[in-house]
A and B are shown apart, each in its own frame.
Chain A
């Protein structure tokens, strides 16, 4: 999934972004309001992790502006403001969730996945597909009770296709979910991940529509 992390404390942003990248997500980091606004306006994020006290203004202002413009991207506020009135203000401004610093990164990742799924209209965690059992919340896949080992990138590709289940995803659309602004996109990376996934998951899970893209039926 492609995520936008809006956080002005560079040490924290570095640690959180590093963790989420390790989970297979593409993470764009915005250290201030203007950068966040610009990134949010051009990229299609699965979820935005938003701090509130930012150089240039409040994260709530940005959130309200995006919601007013009709943007429905799931937003998870991650802030040091722990008072209930702050939480209410955040949710009223259009946030989907609210975590208070310091937070558990595993929990943060789980919440991001849950909100991203809801954003895709697929709140269910467990999916049965072509003899596979897939837990999107835990990012795990089993066949006949045995867990299949997927790399974080492989999981990201599968998760992106599951998020658009029944619809074709073009290669650029898949690249969009895999790479952040600063990442170098390798020309055939998507094909490589699709190929590896097919080997691990077996036939009938990912279909190719020549000239159009890929889909999970």
Chain B
């Protein structure tokens, strides 16, 4: 089993080294700056000593003739830290840790930093041991860095703790989701969530809401389907149990009703499974005529078709989907209309179906939504809606002047 990973762990692994590296880089920069500044400070000090020595030499010459040149100016000649050497042309050269220098200015030689200046009749050389200077820098650095190390540890600890605390809503959110019962579709509490997580929780709640709605719809559908199927069966069984002279005729009528219900449920199932999205080719005129031929046999009234002299209307559509859509529209008009049914096909691909309608007529689109006492299944227009949507059609439903009508524009589906 592969091990998972955690956001807190990943953030720790990425952020903590970066924080530590940043601190180390900062300390390094500070140490470098300190080294530079201390170096400058010491160089200035050397310059000061040398200039002071030159002044002393000048005053000695003007005040007291050829007095001995001072060799010590508060500096120990044998010091391994600082050495001042003043050389006169007529005097022996005192030993120094560095060799003979040929030009004025600062130079590094044999582990010493030396400043050389020429004065009247004398050469002044001031040297600092580089080791001593480094030691001074190191001491200063220690004073700066040592207190910073626990501070760095504190920063790392605080960073890690802050990250963990910041990530705790994620953990709580995950626990709330995973700790739920499978049937618990109530929305998650989003009040204490950070802005980054709230959209996720809101989306999750939206998802739960949709699942709940689907579950309710499924329960509703199953209950209605059970009613539609079991009730005719119960009727049939009761008829057969009670017997009587008309039991056969009544039984057949009940079976026919049951067959229609089963057929409608299967059609709705196919429509909702995406039958209308299947690719295919279908001639609208031919299918319309075939469906009308079947429906006319069962229709108590006339069904009139004005085909607009259109002989063929090839469409990019599944022929079964088209036939089911048309059949349900026509049956709905025949069953719920109160007069003739008229269909008119226009050359550009529009089809209008209309029927005389009762004053309280209404289009009932939801599955199993039907008028009280209606002998229908309440599925016809739901099937039409599902198929039309998948075919990319937008039916225009209208009830006006005592007629109910629907117009379908098949033009976008035309081939060629």
Chain A residues in contact with chain B, CB under 8 A? Answer: 8-9, 11-12, 15-16, 18-19, 22, 31-32, 53, 55-56, 79-83, 86, 100-106
Contact = CB atoms under 8 A, between A and B. Distances in A.
B254 A19 contact: no
A148 B67 CA distance: 166
- Best-surrounded residue of A56, A81, A102, A104 (most CB of chain B within 10 A): A102
Interface residues of B, number: 24
B242 A12 contact: no
A15 B223 contact: no
A56 B233 CA distance: 24
Contact of A53 (B227, B237, B250): B227
A103 to B, nearest CB: 6
Contacts of A80: 223, 226-231, 234
- Best-surrounded residue of B226, B229, B234, B254 (most CB of chain A within 10 A): B234
A83 B223 contact: yes
Per DSSP, chain B at the interface is helix
B236 interface: yes
A190 B296 CA distance: 56
23 contacts: A9-B235, A11-B235, A11-B239, A11-B250, A12-B234, A12-B235, A15-B238, A18-B242, A22-B242, A31-B373, A32-B372, A80-B223, A80-B229, A80-B230, A81-B227, A83-B222, A100-B230, A101-B230, A101-B231, A102-B236, A104-B237, A105-B241, A106-B241
A81 B221 CA distance: 11
A12 B219 CA distance: 24
Interface string B231-273: 1111111110110000000100010000000000000000000
A56 B241 contact: no
Contact of B238 (A16, A55, A81, A86): A16
A101 B227 CA distance: 8
Contacts, number: 71
Contact of B373 (A18, A19, A55, A102): A55
Contacts of A56: 372
A112 B232 CA distance: 22
A82 B219 CA distance: 11
A104 B242 CA distance: 11
B41 to A, nearest CB: 88
B50 to A, nearest CB: 103
A19 B230 contact: no
A103 B230 CA distance: 10
A12 B236 CA distance: 8
- Best-surrounded residue of A31, A53, A100 (most CB of chain B within 10 A): A53
A55 B230 contact: no
Contact of A19 (B222, B229, B236, B241): B241
Contact of A102 (B222, B230, B242, B372): B230
Nearest to A103: B234
A202 B17 CA distance: 107
Contacts of A55: 372-373
Interface string B155-180: 00000000000000000000000000
Given A53-B223, A81-B223, A81-B226, A105 B242 contact: yes
Contacts of B226: 80-82
Contacts of A100: 230
Nearest to A11: B235
B162 to A, nearest CB: 49
A35 to B, nearest CB: 12
The 3 closest A-B pairs by CB, nearest first: A15-B238, A55-B372, A80-B230
Given A53-B223, A83-B222, A15 B231 contact: no
A105 B240 CA distance: 10
A22 B243 CA distance: 12
A130 to B, nearest CB: 35
Contacts of A12: 231, 234-235, 238
B38 to A, nearest CB: 85
